[in-house]
Amino acid sequence: VQLQASGGGLVQAGGSLRLSCAASGRYAMGWFRQAPGKEREFVVAISWSGDTTLYADSVKGRFTISRDNAKNTVYLQMNNLKPEDTAVYYCAAKLSRNTSPRPGEYDYWGQGTQVTVSS
């Protein structure tokens, strides 16, 4: 399984970015992030079908996950970005079809993309 994350960059606070994660197949997917000196944390997940999503409280109302199953691609639209959103963002795929906030339940990980939000 190959996961290719893209779309990171530098943005001012209040701005927007859209991350993409292209997979080599169709999986339930999640996004996690890791800031310097901190543990990896859950951001958002979407089920294999796309019918179910799960968001961390810190991003609810600002981030939206979606998927294009024809392209095996998952998107993370991030609006109203804050400096505390600065981190390396990783997409991950799991073989079971449900959503999960637990990184240990994900079987494959992408390489990460840097998101930096300036104040």
Q: What is the structure's pLDDT at 75?
A: 98
Q: What is the residue-wise DSSP string for 4-37?
A: EEE--EEEETT--EEEEEEESS--EEEEEEE-TT
φ and ψ of 83, to 5 deg: -55, -30
pLDDT in tens, 55-91: 999 999 999 999 999 999 999 999 999 999 999 999 9
> pLDDT category, 1, cuts 50, 70, 90?
confident
Closest by CA to 91, choosing from 5, 7, 2, 27, is 5
pLDDT in tens, 89-100: 999 999 999 999
Specify the 3-state DSSP secondary structure of 51.
coil
Q: How far, in Å, CA of 51 to CA of 7, rounded?
A: 24
